[in-house]
Amino acid sequence: MFELYHLFDLLGVAVFAISGTLLAHEKKMDGFGVIVLAAVTAIGGGTLRDMILDVPVFWVHDTSYFITILITVLITIIWLNYTQRFPHYLLQLADALGIAFFAIMGAQKALNIDVPAMTAVIMGVLTGCFGGVIRDVLAREVPMLLKGPLYAVACLLGAGLYVLLISMNVSSGVAMWLGGGVILIVRLIAIKWNVSLYVFRYPS
């Protein structure tokens, strides 16, 4: 089971590294900037989660995370240099996949140390969202968390479903797929139809 969790973690890192590399390309950053933006996107949320939960930061003693980031960045750079195109929807898709992976993994890690269910959901949201927040701040963008259609809401729903299913003794694998699926579907629907939770009235 540990190998399955680790694989999902690495997949989430890879997807978020793609997201960071795409934004670095859009902002015309140099090679070091690309690596920095990809890395903070991929491991930023999980690092903050582990610091809050007071557990060892997940990447400190496991170089597979940085190897995954470097390989992903290299492949993405080659692809972008070959195609010379940057469809903006790819950044949104990569980001949606990343939050789906990481929100569930964050909630799962929190549950493993016996925190309350609500705390586990919050850790899931934090893990899924805050790597992207750091990425956007460094790139001088308004974070998707603050303006993206149902960005944090998707994480909240998916992580909440995962924690609920685990409390009902549903198998961890099924709960992970269902929770991650909800996040991905809600986020993609919100992107396609620009669904947001506006609370202020605007002239438009």
pTM as predicted: 0.89
What was the pLDDT predicted at 1?
A: 58
Q: Which of 99, 108, 109, 113 is nearest to 13 (CA)?
A: 99
Contact 152, 125 (CB under 8 A): yes
What was the pLDDT predicted at 120?
A: 97
Q: Which of 86, 63, 101 is nearest to 184 (CA)?
A: 101
Amino acid at position 103, single letter: A
What was the pLDDT predicted at 14?
A: 92
Residue listed under structure tokens 């963008």? 141
The pLDDT tens digits of the residues spanning 94-144 come to 888 889 999 999 999 999 999 999 999 999 999 999 999 999 999 999 888
Predicted confidence band of residue 204 (pLDDT cuts 50, 70, 90): low
Amino acid at position 65, single letter: Y
What was the pLDDT predicted at 11?
A: 86
